[in-house]
Amino acid sequence: MAKRQDHRQIAKLAQVQHVRKAAAEASMMAASAAETVSETEHADAEKVAVLAIGDWLGCMAQPWFEPERARDLAAVSVEREGALDAAVSAHADATELRERRVNAWRQASARVELTDTMAKDARRAAGRAREERRLTQLCDRVTFAWSQS
């Protein structure tokens, strides 16, 4: 028969799993906050890029053409598009990180449930073993008393 795990060791393991779950939850919340910030930065970069393109198109639509101004506005527009691309990439990275952290938190949560169940089962098994020992001792006393009478 397999040796049963000591319920105290399993309880310690459960405590460790609870701490790991709390750390995973804090990490998940930090990643979620970072994703929100990157989402805001993405939206801001998109607005700025759209405004820069609008300025350039407005310059191009004027009846008089100013090549230097159009070139400067085009350069600004390209720069803003580059910033937008960087913001999109940062937002995608933040979203991926948040998803990984959510998965890690879910795994930690499942481990907590498992170790809590294991600890409860081990406590029950230890209680049953104590009760069996107590009943065995009681039977031995009764048998001894009966044999002496």
| Residue-level pLDDT at 53 | 93
Q: Which residues contact 60 (CB under 8 A, 6 or more apart)?
A: 70
Quote the CA–CA distance of 55 and 59 in Å, as a whole number.
Answer: 6
Q: What are the tens digits of pLDDT across the range 47-99?
A: 999 999 999 888 888 888 788 988 999 999 999 999 999 999 999 999 999 99
Quote the CA–CA distance of 64 and 83 in Å, as a whole number.
Answer: 30
Alpha helical stretches, state H, the chain: 7-61, 67-148
Evaluated on CA atoms 5, 6, 7, 13, the torsion sign reads: negative
Residues for the chain: how many in total?
Answer: 149
The pTM of the full predicted model, rounded to 2 decimals, is 0.72
